């Protein structure tokens, strides 16, 4: 038990009674330290056990006792809760660089969100944690350079400064819709919980803040405002730079340097969170919210001047409350949301039950059943890193829903025991009736708590009670064996059904694949035929065009030839006429030469005549 408590502590916080209480009488009773089994608890006055008494009209009158790391009663305020639970987590986160986690678990309306986020009058664990963080680091806080962002960005995140983030947000959301940090409460004070950070003053710290939710078993970023239809679900996986450690990829992370900027980011995330009105709560959280604070410790090397970055993360988780559809009066989307919430909390309960068993180190925790348990448990048992310091605050309303509260306590308690009270009976040495409640009280305080039995003056009733108790135990053991056999049989059937489903899926996939291949081949054949037909049509079209062009060229050549022939014939006639004239002139000259006339003389006479 001690090893489990050190690794994973579970606290129970009781909500003060209020006007909306279902029952008039509280069914939870905190046991004083004197009745607990631990001597350390008696010395410190720490209350660790609580008993649950079923209402008189309940069909089961079994009184159960649950053990926790500590039971915080109704009189403790937010400051006391922070000092007992959160401050011990922040100290190793800041001083030793370990990872820490704080989560709240409980029925809807039991005070989970009030514990984490507070109210208009009091701050919650988130605001007080941020205050302690910035007070402890002081002037060591700095911003990352671009090279440092690339060095430590192992989650494919969008990292930006607070001013750039608010500019993006206000372009989507009206500024007046987001509460101002100045209007947030400043109490309870946290000065007494400031952590002394050791080391050289040259060591700087950068703080990256991211907020996301698990809604209907999908992860969504609350710092990237968008419409519900356009929201993109994020993946939780290992990246190349994150190694074996899984991270939520694609988140928007904001570098904050003071409390004002951090509260701005926190208010934006809470404004974006999924809420809805139900019959149990006017503003019911419809998702599990994760507030992640990454501390980047920057140390400059004296040898080469490079900056070494060491990381630690403090995560605050506000889980949605389990609810009954009959009490919450939900329908439609709200009913579906409630189903996803209850399913994820059921898986979380199974993981908690296994992790708190004495053989938890050998048992395999089935945390991959839902996104919630995967986020909470994946990196908690990584052998390569030092385990994180995790605490869960279970909130309970002692006058609320008995069935839901008892179920929540069953799978969140570190240990539990129970006793079935006997009905009223007659004591043989007198006429006085002994009520079942008084007998149960004696048995629970004696046999269950301290290991001794309440002595009576008469041996016969005690013997009868022992025989009845033995018979009841034997019957319960028989029922337990039957239930275990039934569970094993159902698991075998489930495994066989899963195997059958895998075979059917493989056969269907193969059939679909063959069908698709056949269709692809048919389409390819059709496309090839179509391409061949188109090519033939194109060739015929080109051939017709070429024939038309040839005919046009031939027709054009014929007309040109006829015109050229006419010109040639005319030119030939002219040449023939000129040739005939020259012949006549030659004949004339020959005759004159024969007659003795000189051409030169004739030319001279012609000149003289002129």
Contacts of 576 (CB under 8 A, 6+ apart): none
HSE-CB for 248 with a 13 A CA cutoff = 27
Give φ, ψ of 255 to 5 degrees. -80, 120
83 marked ligand binding residue: no
CA angle 70, 75, 81 (to 5 degrees): 50
CA-to-CA dists, residue 443 to 251, 447, 454, 478, 589, angstroms: 54, 5, 7, 23, 171
296 in Cβ contact with 140 (< 8 Å): no
392 in Cβ contact with 35 (< 8 Å): no
307 marked ligand binding residue: no
DSSP state, residue 229: T
**Residue 196: strand, helix, or coil:** coil
586 marked ligand binding residue: no
CA-to-CA dists, residue 539 to 533, 544, 547, angstroms: 10, 9, 12
* Beta-sheet strands, E only, within 53-177: 63-67, 70-72, 100-106, 158-161
Burial class (CB in 10 A: 0-12, 13-18, 19+), 454: middle
243 marked ligand binding residue: no
The strand pair at 100-106 and 389-397 is best described as: parallel
137 in Cβ contact with 195 (< 8 Å): no
| Rounded Cα–Cα distance for residues 311 and 331 (Å) | 44
Residue 11 CB neighbour total at 10 angstroms: 21
30 marked ligand binding residue: no
The strand pair at 158-161 and 204-215 is best described as: unpaired
HSE-CB for 70 with a 13 A CA cutoff = 17
106 in Cβ contact with 396 (< 8 Å): yes
Give φ, ψ of 231 to 5 degrees. -65, 135
The two three-digit tokens of residue 327, written as one number: 């009490």
456 marked ligand binding residue: no
Q: Which residues are annotated as a binding site?
A: 106-113
Q: Which residues are annotated as a binding site for ATP?
A: 106-113
């Amino acid at each position: 038990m001690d090893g489990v408590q050190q690794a994973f502590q579970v606290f129970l916080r009781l909500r003060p009674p209020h006007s909306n209480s279902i029952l008039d009488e509280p069914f939870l009773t905190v046991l004083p330290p004197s009745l607990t089994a631990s001597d350390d608890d008696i010395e410190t006055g720490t209350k660790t056990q609580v008993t649950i008494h079923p209402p008189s009209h309940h069909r089961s009158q079994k009184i159960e006792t649950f053990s926790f790391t500590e039971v915080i009663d109704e009189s403790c305020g937010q400051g006391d809760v922070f000092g007992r639970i959160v401050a011990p987590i922040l100290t190793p986160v800041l001083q030793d660089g370990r990872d820490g986690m704080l989560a709240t678990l409980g029925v809807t309306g039991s005070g989970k969100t009030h514990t984490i986020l507070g109210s208009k009058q009091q701050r919650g664990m988130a605001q007080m944690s941020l205050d302690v963080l910035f007070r402890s680091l002081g002037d060591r806080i700095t911003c990352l350079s671009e090279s440092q962002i690339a060095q430590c960005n192992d989650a494919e995140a969008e990292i930006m400064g607070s001013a750039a983030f608010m500019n993006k947000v206000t372009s989507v959301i009206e500024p007046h819709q987001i509460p101002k940090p100045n209007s947030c409460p400043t109490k309870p004070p946290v000065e007494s919980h400031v952590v002394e950070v050791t080391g050289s003053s040259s060591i700087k710290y950068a703080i990256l803040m991211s907020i996301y939710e698990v809604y209907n078993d999908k992860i969504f970023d609350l710092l990237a405002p968008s419409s519900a239809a356009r929201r993109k679900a994020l993946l939780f996986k290992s990246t190349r730079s994150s190694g074996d450690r899984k991270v939520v990829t694609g988140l928007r992370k904001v570098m904050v340097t003071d409390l004002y900027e951090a509260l701005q980011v926190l208010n934006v995330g809470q404004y974006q969170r999924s809420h809805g009105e139900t019959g149990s709560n006017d503003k019911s959280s419809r998702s599990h919210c994760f507030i992640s604070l990454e501390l980047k410790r920057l140390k400059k090397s004296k040898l080469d001047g490079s900056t070494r970055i060491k990381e630690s993360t403090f995560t605050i988780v506000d889980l949605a409350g389990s609810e009954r559809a009959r009490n919450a009066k939900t329908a439609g989307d709200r009913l579906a949301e409630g189903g996803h919430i209850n399913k994820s909390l059921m898986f979380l309960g199974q993981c908690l039950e296994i992790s708190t068993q004495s053989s938890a180190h050998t048992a395999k925790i089935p945390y991959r059943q839902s996104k919630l348990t995967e986020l909470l448990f994946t990196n908690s048992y990584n052998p390569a890193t030092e385990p994180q310091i995790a605490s869960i605050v279970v909130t309970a309303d002692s006058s609320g829903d008995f069935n839901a509260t008892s179920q929540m306590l069953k799978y969140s308690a570190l240990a539990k025991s129970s006793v079935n009270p006997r009905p009223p009976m007659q004591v043989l040495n007198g006429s006085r009736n002994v009520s079942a409640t008084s007998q149960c009280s004696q048995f629970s305080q004696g046999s269950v708590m301290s290991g001794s039995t309440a002595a009576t003056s008469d041996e016969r009733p005690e013997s009868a009670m022992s025989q009845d108790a033995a018979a009841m135990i034997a019957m319960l053991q028989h029922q337990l064996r039957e239930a275990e056999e039934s569970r094993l049989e159902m698991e075998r059937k489930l495994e066989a059904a899963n195997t059958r489903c895998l075979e059917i899926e493989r056969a269907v996939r193969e059939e679909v694949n063959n069908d698709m291949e056949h269709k692809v081949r048919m389409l390819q054949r059709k496309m090839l035929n179509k391409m061949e037909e188109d090519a033939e049509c194109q060739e015929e079209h080109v051939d017709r065009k070429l024939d038309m062009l040839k005919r046009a060229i031939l027709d054009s050549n014929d007309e040109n030839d006829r015109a050229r022939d006419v010109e040639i014939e005319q030119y030939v006639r002219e040449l023939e006429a000129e040739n005939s004239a020259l012949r006549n002139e030659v004949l004339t000259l020959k005759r004159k030469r024969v007659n003795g006339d000189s051409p030169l003389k004739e030319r001279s006479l012609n000149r003289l005549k002129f």
